[in-house]
Amino acid sequence: MSPGAVLAGVASRKLYLCNGHRQSSRNRSTVYRRLLADRKNFPSSAASDSSGSVGGRKLRSFPTVDFRDWDPDLPSYSSSSSPPSLQDADRRLSPLARYICDSLRRHGHWCPAVLSDLNKLRRVLPDLVTEVLRSRPLLPPAVSTRFFHWAGRQKGFSHTFASYNALAYCLSAAGLFRAADQVPELMLAQGKPPSEKQLEILLRFHADARRPLRLFHLYRKMRTRFGVVPQRTFLYNRIIDALVRCDHLDLALSVYDDLRSDGGVKEDAVTFTLLSKGLCRAGRIDELVHLLDRMRCEVCRPDVFAYTAMVKILTSERNLDGCLRVWGQMINDGVEPDVTAYSTLIAGLCKARMVEKGLEFYRDMKKKGLLIERAVYGALVEGFVARRQAEDGLEILKEMVDDGYRTDLVIYNPLIGGFCAEGKVDKASKLFHIVVAEGLIPELQTLTPLLVAYASGGRMGMFFQLVDRIEELGLPVLDHLQHFFMAFLKEGGREMLALKVFEEMKSKGKISVAIYNVLIEALHSVKEVKRALSLFEELEQKEDLESDSTTYSLVIPCLVDDGDTREACSCYNKMKEKNWTPGIAAYSSLVKGLCKMGEINGAVSLVKDCLGNVANGPMEFKYSLRVLDSCRLRKPEKVMEVLEEMLDEGCPMEDIIYCSVIHGFCRHASSEEAKKVFEMLWKSNVLTEADFIVYEEMRNEHLKKETASLVISGLKFFGLEKKLKWKTRLDEP
């Protein structure tokens, strides 16, 4: 037969989705899928009666589904009034999987409508179940599990390992990791004992989510209950790495013991490296040395990369003795340290202020002819500056220039700051001029030490010359001045000197709202409330400057400390009018002021406003709401439980707590319950007798206010408010 005849015979055959070539019948639904299917419904014949039977036998009918609506590669021509939307569907899914996902997501939960859509399919295969469960976005767990079990109830159906893994993936991605861990039990109950692959998948989920204890529990369960023992060193390494990363070294060592006890698996270099990192982080150097000896005997000698990793961990943990001991082990092994190893060690030694030791290793690098990195020079300079040896740091800078490197601000900034701290301002000024001459753009860290040194020494002429120089360089002068005041006021006792500098700056017009805020905060911290308020009044009178939310947040505590709580409340109202949120300090001080005034209702409303607008409000505010909620039960014992918990947590008993007790019982029960709580606190020595009397008077006053407000509300309800005002006018003298 000729090849052309063979091709013609193949082309004449009809290939279908199910079982390849077969004859169509009226009992099989019409399926359209490109060139893979070409079925047509047979027209009804006389052989079938109106009841749908053929030859006396009743036939099962299947609804017709046109899957081209769920195929993005084919035009949709469904006759339905609402064809499915494929805009958000994953285009990698098959049409059948897209049809099922569309039905599940459209209904949102397992319901008869979903079952009706699924019954339109003749059969759902395990690969299709896997594809649906792994679709993006993932289905809700309540829907995916029901679909999984529905598919398993099909006649002759058996889930595959891939479908079980897809279910575990879906549950773990939804945060139901405990349910995902039960998948091996489900597999065993359905006649599919779990294998190492299931263990690997579940371990990966826990490792990625940083759940080390759950990971170890799963490993033990699979090993003891199901007899699933890892057959690859890679899987053991994965478990050890997850445990070591989360500081569970002892559990990682127990897994390592299991690895050694299993005859078919042997540890490799990665295993020893992971354990050595954990031992370094835990500071167990003796065990580390023993592990390295075992690694040399059984696997291989540690290389320079393993030693560098250990040195890096030990330096980050500030374990310099262990670091030098590991370095000695590396030299004894004949491993030649590279540039990265030297740089890591020198940087760690300089941060620990062991600069002389770091300098020795630096000289050793030079003798060996290694290329010294810029970071090594920077670490040595910062180390000398931290020890107030800026001259030695300058020598390192000169060596860096001689070695052919061009210096940058990372080197210049510490030196300028170090010379200023040692009182050698002229040398720092020379370095600054070198920075400008080399075309480098000075930073805040470059200029702030010079400004602070000039202001501290009273050299205001040099100070303003530097300010003018900053302006000539095109840098933001006001930002530099704000940073100067912040650095200048870090050291206490300079507040008055800062005010003098500020007065001279005002004469030159170099002021900003941010500078006012820095000074107000500093003056309030040293109890100079009057001066802080005078600065605020001065700022309010300026037409070219306008106070911001930070200004009001700083002024409110000043006004409360000055005894003017009503003015502080007006500032708070102004902030609310401008949709500004006060700071936590402003809320706390304003609540304290209102409590001292006896304005308990206003204090409680501020507490609620603070917790509703601030991310992490004060703990006493949170406990005050718990106290209010406990007062609803009308039991003083419940309130005392909250207060005792508060004392155990070390939270201070502020005025708002006692005011919350008064407000809660007066609102929801009786003021006598509040008195009982105060008596309990008095007997337990939490309240003094004087405080008990004060809060009793506050309770009586609040009860009068609440009673008066109830009377006025009743008069308003019955329309007698006008008579109340008329009577009040008659009583006036």
Which of the 8 DSSP states describes residue 685? Answer: T
* Number of domains present in the structure of the chain: 3
* Sequence-ordered alpha helix ranges (H) in 283-389: 285-298, 304-316, 320-332, 339-351, 355-368, 374-386
CA gap 576, 586 in Å, rounded: 13
How far does Cα 343 stand from its chain's mean position? 32
* Spatial contact of 466 and 451, defined as CB atoms under 8 Å apart: yes
Look at residues 606, 645, 638 and name the one whose alpha carbon lies nearest to residue 623. 645
Beta bridge partners of 53: 58
- Is 464 a domain residue? no
The answer to the question of residue 679 being in a domain is yes
Give me the pLDDT at residue 80, please: 43
Question: 3-class secondary structure for 22-83?
Answer: CCCCCCCCCCCCHHHCCCCCCCCCCCECCCCEECCEECCCCCCCCHHHHCCCCCCCCCCCCC
Q: How far apart are CA 697 and CA 699, in angstroms?
A: 5
CA-to-CA distance for 509 and 460, rounded, in angstroms? 16
Query: In this structure, are residues 587 and 571 in contact, taking their beta carbons and an 8 Å threshold?
Result: no
Cα–Cα distance between 143 and 141 in angstroms, integer? 5
What is the CA 510 to chain-centroid distance, rounded?
40
Domain boundary among 407, 432, 462: 407
- What Cα–Cα distance (Å) separates residue 574 from each residue in 513, 581, 582, 606? 17, 11, 11, 15
> Quick one: tokens of 470?
């900053």
Here the tokens at position 113 are 């409508």
Decide if 381 is inside a domain: yes
CB neighbour burial string for 65-90, b if at least 16 within 10 angstroms, e if fewer:
bbbbbbbeeeeeeeeeeeebeeeebe
Integer Cα distance of 634 and 57 in angstroms: 75
The single residue listed with the structure tokens 């936590």 is 584
Q: Which of 35, 96, 97 is nearest to 67 (CA)?
A: 96
Given a contact cutoff of 8 angstroms between Cβ atoms, the answer to whether 527 and 488 are in contact is: no
297 domain-assigned: no
Structure confidence at residue 509 (pLDDT): 85
If you ran DSSP here, which 8-state letter would residue 406 be given? P
Q: Helix (H, G, I), strand (E, B), or coil: what is residue 420?
A: helix
Tokens for 529, please give them: 């409330």
Q: How far apart are CA 657 and CA 655, in angstroms?
A: 5
* Angstrom distance (rounded) from CA 144 to CA 101: 10
> What is the C-alpha to C-alpha distance for residues 604 and 599, in angstroms, rounded to an integer?
9
Contact call for residues 192 and 164 (beta carbons, < 8 A): yes
- List pLDDT tens digits, range 33-78: 444 434 444 444 433 444 444 444 444 444 556 665 655 555 543 4
Which of 125, 159, 193 is the endpoint of a domain?
193
- Contact by Cβ (8 Å): 416, 454: no
At 529-568, the pLDDT tens digits run: 999 999 999 999 988 889 999 999 999 999 999 989 999 9
Residue 653 included in any domain: yes
Helix ranges (H only) for 528-599 are 529-541, 549-561, 565-577, 584-597
Amino acid code (one letter) for 543 = E
Looking at residue 315, its amino acid is T
DSSP state of 270: H
The last residue of a domain, from among 193, 216, 234: 193
Q: What is the DSSP letter of 20?
A: B
Place of tokens 């600069």: 355
Under 8 Å between Cβ of 462 and 447: no
Per the structure, the complete domain to which residue 351 belongs is given by: 340-407
Kindly give the parts of the chain with pLDDT less than 50. 1-3, 5-23, 26, 29-62, 76-89, 726-733
Are 522 and 498 contacting, i.e. CB atoms less than 8 angstroms apart? yes
**pTM (predicted TM-score):** 0.70
Beta-bridge partners for 16 = 20
* DSSP string for residues in 85-115: P-SSS-TTS-HHHHHHHHHHHHH-S--HHHH
Q: Which residues contact 581 (CB under 8 A, 6 or more apart)?
A: 549, 575, 613, 614
Residue in the structure block whose two tokens are 């040395």: 289
SS3 652: coil
Among 439, 445, 443, which residue's Cα sits nearest to residue 406?
439
d(CA 490, CA 500): 17
**Shortest CA distance to 379 belongs to which of 337, 365, 367?**
365
Whether residue 604 contacts residue 587, with contact meaning beta carbons closer than 8 Å, is answered with: no
Q: Spell out the residues 6+ positions from residue 198 whose beta carbon is closer than 8 angstroms to its own.
A: 161, 164, 165, 168, 183, 184, 187, 222, 228
pLDDT tens readout for residues 232-279: 999 999 999 999 999 999 999 999 999 988 877 888 899 999 999 999
Q: What is the amino acid identity at position 667?
A: R
Nearest Cα residue to 518 out of 548, 544, 563, 559: 548
Is residue 121 a contact partner of residue 136, using CB atoms and an 8 Å limit?
no
Residue 533, domain member (yes or no): no
How many CB atoms neighbour CB 222 within 10 A? 22
Q: Cβ distance 415 to 393 under 8 Å?
A: yes
State how far Cα 205 lies from the chain centre: 19
d(CA 349, CA 356): 9
* Angle in degrees, CA 414, 415, 418, rounded to 5: 85
d(CA 348, CA 355): 10
pLDDT for 701 equals 86
CA distances, 649 to each of 327, 591, 623, 641, 694 (Å): 46, 22, 11, 12, 26
Indicate whether 541 belongs to any domain: no
Q: Can the peptide bond before residue 137 be classed as cis, meaning omega within 30 degrees of 0?
A: yes
Q: 34-41: which pairs have CB atoms within 8 A and are 24 or more residues apart?
A: 34/73, 34/74, 38/14
Whole-number Cα distances in Å, 506 to 25, 495, 502, 511:
97, 16, 6, 6
Tokens found for residue 186: 């489900």
Helix axes 339-351, 355-368, angle to 10 degrees: 160
- Supply the pLDDT for residue 358: 92
The three-class DSSP label of residue 16 is: strand
In a domain? residue 265: no
List, in order, residues 6 or more apart from 472 with CB less than 8 Å away.
Answer: none
